[in-house]
Amino acid sequence: MGCCSFVCLAPLNFQILEETSSSIITSSSILKFSSSSLDRCKRFYRRKPNALKLVSSDYSCFEVKGINYRPPGTQHNLLNDVNFSLHEKSLGLIFGRSGSGKTTLLQLLAGLSKPTSGSIYIQRYGEDGNPNQSPEHLPPERVGIVFQFPERYFLADTVLEEVTFGWPRQKGGIQFKEQLALGLQRAINSVGLNGISLDEDPHALSGGYKRRLALAIQLVQTPDLLILDEPLAGLDWKARADVVKLLKYLKKELTLLVVSHDLKELSSLVDQSWRMEMGGLLKKEPMPV
């Protein structure tokens, strides 16, 4: 990478990491981790020379450091010292055997449960490849997660109600509401749902359109990280191809972390991959296709 510069990526905010009693991040440990993360980012660009653009800019990596997870009241860790780094606007894929801990990890990254120890954050790098800000904790509201079979959790009678279901009812002034409305329009367009009436019953949509709707719900507030658990599961071949195309498009603007068994169909999109081994051990590994 040398003094080469990176394509301009939307700046992300930076705050201090999540700290737990068993793993307090000190400035020296941040620096130590940052240099290994930097190496990973450098390797990413070596493998993907087309990703390099000769413009001067910063870039960010979503980084996970030393995550352990033991559910309360149990004796064994479901995740053991999980470390990885994902360059923004790229797609990372986690594969591995059933029961190895993939969904457990995604739930931690989305803030649905708390790691026993370790940190999850965003690190920004300058054009010289060195961290140029303090790492920033990634709060759950900036992570979108699309669960496996998301359509099973649809609750509303119309597409509009489904997308706006979690929105604050009274809070916020007109500006906030305008912002949400713009986000809704952008999300609907970006998943190709603009041909569908907002009055339509979400349960009556085709499998592929239900999946698009689940994605739109997560995209309204433009997450810094979008997590997808088995995005192709249960879809017919046409809908699977549509979702793959959609992910390819979304990757231009978003950082995506996907868990899937459908390695062949996703292989053309994947920038980095890891195998989750039984016992919650994550190892960097090319996809076996």
Ligand X SMILES: Nc1ncnc2c1ncn2[C@@H]1O[C@H](COP(=O)(O)OP(=O)(O)OP(=O)(O)O)[C@@H](O)[C@H]1O
Q: What is the contact surface with ligand X in residues (CB under 6 A)?
A: 71, 74, 78, 98-104, 276
Which of the listed partners (Mg ion, ligand X, none) does 286 bind, with a CB threshold of 5 to 8 Å by partner kind? none
Which of the listed partners (Mg ion, ligand X, none) does 279 bind, with a CB threshold of 5 to 8 Å by partner kind? none
Which of the listed partners (Mg ion, ligand X, none) does 98 bind, with a CB threshold of 5 to 8 Å by partner kind? ligand X
Burial letters 15-29, b for 16+ CB under 10 A, else e:
eebbeeeebebeeee
State the minimum distance, in angstroms, from the CB of residue 100 to Mg ion.
Answer: 9
Taking residue 3's Cβ as centre, other Cβ atoms within 10 Å add up to: 7
- 100 interacts with Mg ion by CB under 5 A: no
State the minimum distance, in angstroms, from the CB of residue 287 to Mg ion.
Answer: 18
Q: Which residue is closest to Mg ion by CB?
A: 103
User: With respect to ligand X, which residue has the nearer C-beta, 47 or 97?
Assistant: 97
Which of the listed partners (ligand X, Mg ion, none) does 30 bind, with a CB threshold of 5 to 8 Å by partner kind? none
**Tokens matching residue 287:** 């996809």
State the minimum distance, in angstroms, from the CB of residue 101 to ligand X.
Answer: 4
Place of tokens 């997560």: 218
What is the rounded CA–CA span in Å between residue 228 and residue 94?
A: 10
User: With respect to Mg ion, which residue has the nearer C-beta, 38 or 266?
Assistant: 266
State the minimum distance, in angstroms, from the CB of residue 258 to Mg ion.
Answer: 12
250 near 243, Cβ under 8 Å? no
State the minimum distance, in angstroms, from the CB of residue 266 to ligand X.
Answer: 15
Q: Which stretch binds Mg ion (CB under 5 A): 20-28, 100-108, 124-132, 247-255?
A: 100-108
State the minimum distance, in angstroms, from the CB of residue 226 to ligand X.
Answer: 18
91 near 251, Cβ under 8 Å? yes
Among 77, 103, 119, 190, binds Mg ion (CB under 5 A): 103
Size, binding site for Mg ion by CB under 5 A: 2
Which of the listed partners (ligand X, Mg ion, none) does 74 bind, with a CB threshold of 5 to 8 Å by partner kind? ligand X
Which of the listed partners (Mg ion, ligand X, none) does 193 bind, with a CB threshold of 5 to 8 Å by partner kind? none
Which of the listed partners (Mg ion, ligand X, none) does 170 bind, with a CB threshold of 5 to 8 Å by partner kind? none
- 85 interacts with Mg ion by CB under 5 A: no
In the chain, which residue ranges form alpha helices assigned H by DSSP?
A: 27-47, 102-109, 159-164, 174-190, 207-219, 237-250, 263-266
What's the per-residue H, E or C state across 36-81? HHHHHHHHHHHHCHHHCCCCCCCEEEEEEEEEEECCCCCCCCCEEE
225 near 195, Cβ under 8 Å? no
∠ CA 163-92-125, nearest 5°, is 100
Burial class (CB in 10 A: 0-12, 13-18, 19+), 151: middle
State the minimum distance, in angstroms, from the CB of residue 97 to Mg ion.
Answer: 10
- Which residues, numbered 148-167, are part of the site for Mg ion (CB under 5 A)? none
Taking residue 53's Cβ as centre, other Cβ atoms within 10 Å add up to: 12
Residues that bind Mg ion in the complex, under the rule CB under 5 A? 102-103
